[in-house]
Amino acid sequence: MKRVLVTGAAKIGRAGVATIVYKWGQEFNSEKIVYDYLMQSGLPDQQYVDAIKKKGSKIYTLDREHRSMIGIVRWVEEIVRENSYEVIHINTDTAYIAAAYIYAAKKGGIKHIFVHSHCTQVDDNNIVSRIIKTSLHKFCMHYVCSNSETYLACSKLAGNWMFGKKNVDSSKYQTIYNGVKVEPYLYSEKDRKDYREKMRLEEKYVIGNVGRFSYQKNHEFLVKVFAQISKADHDAVLVIVGIGELENEVREQVKALNISDKVLFLGTRNDVPALLSMFDVLVMTSRFEGLPVTMVEAQMADLPCVVSGNITREAQFIESVDYIDGFEVNQWISTIKKYKNYHRVCRSEEKQKSQFNIKTAARELERILAREK
């Protein structure tokens, strides 16, 4: 059994990447690979802590007063050295974060470094900050590539962002798709009926969105589109699942457009599979994505998806997915409206065979981290 130090799991249950990292760890064969988690921003909910410990994994946390970049580097170096780790799996969105972990791990004596890219741009609402961070990312890319044993990413777009197209086209690159457990997300007519009754949405056209309120997710445009849909279709409602730094701004926009009675903010939920069965269509207006877990979950539920053309086509594995290039409101409206009376069925067998089944993704990642041929 090999212990692998892993980053990127600090917000399990609240962020897609962190939850994916956690699920990989749960799926690994413990006789081959066991994750030990670096959680510099604190512990997740107790249910996740219990599951991680049950798997035999360790969790390293960092005191709040030491959470500067220098503090994190020293902390990682110390953990690597004191526990003689040989392998680290760095999950991140930017090369400058990856570079910091690489530097610390190498100082601690780590031998094998795997960097895993999960995004395609810097997520920052402030344009000046975004430009600075993007420049820093580009500056650190060479260092990251020079010190990574294998280049990993959730999609080729995410790989290009972290490693550059030349490296993505090399034999050192491997895509590991963001998979999910199949069974919980399969379409359930019972869940659909129960949840629609509970939320008094029986006769409504439910437009759904699941995602953090951030610059990346572009909720402002989503609300703008829905406001126009609701003028013509009085049965339409928008249900948004998630929290985030821009939530108050979106709530104010909804209020200003006088559609508060047609928009439901559900916050953080642990019943997303049932909500996906309740929805009629998933809409994602993202400015950029690596490979969105929510879109994978929705397709497992055979839920039609209307998504931004900025999302990689690698994410599609059912027919009822529409990509829209650009943000022209009328095009979004007409595409969303076409799924109002869409008939869904549960297609279990083909989902089990999908490359987006978490078991498939975990087995491949396990092989790479164990350095098996």
CATH of the domain at 261: 3.40.50.2000
Q: Is the pLDDT of residue 345 over 90?
A: no
Same domain, 198 and 319: yes
Same domain, 22 and 132: yes
Q: How many domains does the chain have?
A: 2
Same domain, 262 and 251: yes
pLDDT score, position 299: 95
What percent of the chain has a predicted confidence (pLDDT) above 70?
99
Q: Is the pLDDT of residue 65 over 70?
A: yes
pLDDT tens, residue by residue, 81-135: 999 999 999 999 999 999 999 999 999 999 999 999 999 998 888 899 999 999 9
pLDDT score, position 352: 81
Q: Which helix (H) or strand (E) holds 226?
A: helix 219-232
Domain containing 154: what range? 2-179+357-369
Same domain, 186 and 289: yes
Q: d(Cα 90, Cα 93) in Å, to the nearest integer?
A: 10
Same domain, 285 and 344: yes
Same domain, 328 and 300: yes
Mean pLDDT of 253-277: 96
Q: d(Cα 92, Cα 152) in Å, to the nearest integer?
A: 11
Q: Is the pLDDT of residue 41 over 80?
A: no
pLDDT score, position 334: 96
Tokens matching residue 57: 């994994």
Q: Is the pLDDT of residue 18 over 90?
A: no
Q: Which helix (H) or strand (E) holds 265?
A: strand 263-267
Mean pLDDT of 343-352: 80
Alpha-helical regions (H) of 90-203 = 95-108, 127-147, 156-163, 165-168, 182-185, 189-198
pLDDT score, position 373: 59
pLDDT tens, residue by residue, 216-227: 999 999 999 999
pLDDT score, position 81: 94
Tokens matching residue 338: 């076409």
CA angle 18, 126, 103 (to 5 degrees): 50
Same domain, 159 and 145: yes
Same domain, 204 and 295: yes
Same domain, 174 and 188: no
Same domain, 249 and 147: no
Whose tokens are 């044993």? That residue is 149
Quickly state the pLDDT bin for 68 (edges 50, 70, 90).
confident
Same domain, 113 and 219: no
Mean pLDDT of 242-265: 96
Q: Measure Cα distances from 194 to 226, 274, 275 in Å.
A: 25, 9, 10
Same domain, 313 and 199: yes
Contact 74, 104 (CB under 8 A): yes
pLDDT score, position 363: 93
pLDDT score, position 14: 67
Question: In this structure, what are the phi and psi dihedrals at residue 203, rounded to the nearest 5 degrees?
Answer: -105, 15
